[in-house]
Structure 1
Amino acid sequence: VTACTLGYLKLLDVNTPIYGLLAGSKNGLLQLIEFKENKPEIVWQKELGSQINTIEVGDVTNDGYHEIVVGTDDSFVKIFDSSGEELKAIKMEDSRPISLKIIDIDGDNAKEIVVGCADGTLNIYHNPKLDSLDIELKWKTSASNSIKIVSSIVNPEDGKINILFGGYDRSIRCISDLECGETPPLDVPNNMTVPETQTTGVEETTARQIVFETVPTNIREYIFKYLIDNRIIEGIGAELEKKGYLTDSVVEEFQRMISEKADSYEKVTYSVWTLPEDQIGVGGTTEAPSKPPAKKTKKIKPVVIEQEIPTQRGGALLDALKQDSKKGKDNKPKSVADTAAEGNIKTIIITHLEKFKLVPTKSKLVEDLVILGYNRDVVEEQIEKLRMEGVLLYSRTEPKGWSLGTY
């Protein structure tokens, strides 16, 4: 759908005008839709052969009945009666119509067609006769950008009707017809007997309760909504309770699954080094040094990169390699402040797991503490110590993750 509007139309086979929805599509399909008992019903549809940019409803033939005015992408403004029969087609020579407004701008009781175009042109068409299709260009003006919307307002000071229009240049322009109030009025009949309220088939005294429903916006939310609505989660919870899990723990775990990302990640350390900026020349080449630089041993800085968790194999070998890598480091005595900080982090880790019971991955546990302001290396070191002491446990069986042991 590229354009739509609502309006009253008098159909040939009914006495009371209907309040219909007119919709236009990208492939040029124009439809009149009527709502009966709160259900849409297509009254008629018509192929126009070009994208429909804008639609308006109003009396432009001065016969007292509403017509349908459509702006199409092939530079036409077309007028149809309420049955979909084309009455007139106006060719826009220089641009494409993208906005419409049907309103009396000069105060003669006859409504003009205000057309905003893609090239910034504003065209005003009027019909000076009763029950006629003698619609002609009255005047036009132009702006610097496409006119996306057209509206109107009555000036309370002088009673003149002002045309408001704007587009993509973030400007709103106001213009009025020079003949406003000076044109002799036409005796345009009013044959449209518009009902004050539309019949809906429901008694007015019937009170309807408004029900608001949360609509999922992604596939994960849809999955969990289906599980909840069909009481599948309740069945899963009951089975887990039989296995000894607490109800609160099951509920917390489901809530965490809804809010967390679908993929788990673990930190893997790679050795990466970079060349200092002062040694990079034009075009990315290195400049020749003015004197032989002193030989220095580059200290390779570990860079942490996230990747998906691999299959957990060779755990004991990895632990042994980690211990070997630490043997060459100097063992400096720790200060009282360092010892206190480690004790504080240890308490925070234990308190965190007491609250959440189970954390699915080590990286998640580390990130939960890093965002609180703690050093990543210190946190990882404390987690490893607590694991060696048996305070923390990692379960490879369901439910997988890190939890508190006995301490």
Structure 2
Amino acid sequence: MKVSSFIAGLLPLASLVLATPGPDPEKAATKKINEFEKRYQKYIEDTVKKRKTGCTKKNIRRRKEWSKLTKPERKSYLSAIYCLSAKPGITPQSVIPGARSRFDDFVVSHIQLTPFVHANGFFLAYHRYLIWLFETALREECGYKGAQPYWDWTLHWQDQSQHPVFDGSPSSLGSNGQYVPDRDPITIYLPGPRPVTFPPATGGGCVSGPLGPEKFKVNLGPIGYSPQGPDGGYGYNPRCLTRDLSPRLSQDSLRPRNVSFLLESESYARFNVNLDRAPGGNGVHGAGHFLMGTVQLDTYASPSDPMFYLHHSNLDRVFAIWQGQDQEGRTGVVWGTRTSGNVPPSANVTLDTPVPFGFVSPDIPLRELQSSIDGPFCVIYE
């Protein structure tokens, strides 16, 4: 056989090899995330089962993904949201005139402290404890028996409207907003030199379902973009909850590869930076807010939408998983200053620096908010 004939005979085989698809990078990233998660869960379970006091196997709160809750469990969470929204708040209206409910108290904390608890040394600790306080209020003040659920962005990263939390059914947290055509883009202002503008997406109007206008109201804001609500967004501004889901933002930034990228951060400083920065898109923190649009674009009053707590619970889950790879080396570490983006310039935080919480809690030293199973916390993510 001539050499040329032999090579010619191999060409069809080579074409088949070249045409064979390679491994799916998102599936590979999901597998990697699962491996990180199993190591974290083993550490937590092994630690608490040895304890007789403090956080133990008997009292640990087991936080689950929304889709893993039964429908009665989802409805129980919704009932507790309604309850907290109906209870009188503790925020003086002389301070925040628009605050009306116990639910609003937590929105107020975030409003007042936004310039001091984002893109800085307080970010992860503040939000970890705010979620715990909110969860505790649901349990102790509204009879909720479960733990705070989370929203795993990667399950439906190509189209979040397919996630059960957004399907508008009686066991969801409402739908996407009703589509409103011919809307203007929204420009928000974050720490840094330039504002960020978001074009309209797939909704924009009121959500339907359990958080529709007849069952749930937003009272505060907007503050972080124009036009602001009354009194610069601090006044009473009752209105329906709106959303504007953006598949593009989810596809760019909430794919499994971006989560595995975050989990591979080699230091606490890098983990903090990577929260809002990733290859080919925003980091998972900002993207989780931005893809919901409208209320979630308001950096200050974003907790007005209960989805805030599911988003930040998942962010805390990723943080806990990252810590769980080296608990000794990744707990009791600090990074950053006391102001968002260090604007204006401020002192570096230390473990003794008190973290502020406004009316919902006294200040707490940063060192007490480091571990998810020590200090005030007793949580595992399943």
The answer to whether TM tops 0.5 is no
Bigger helix share: 2
TM-score, structure 2 normalization: 0.19
Taking structure 1 as the reference length, the TM-score comes to 0.18
Report the structure number with the largest CA radius of gyration: 1
Greater percentage in strand: 1
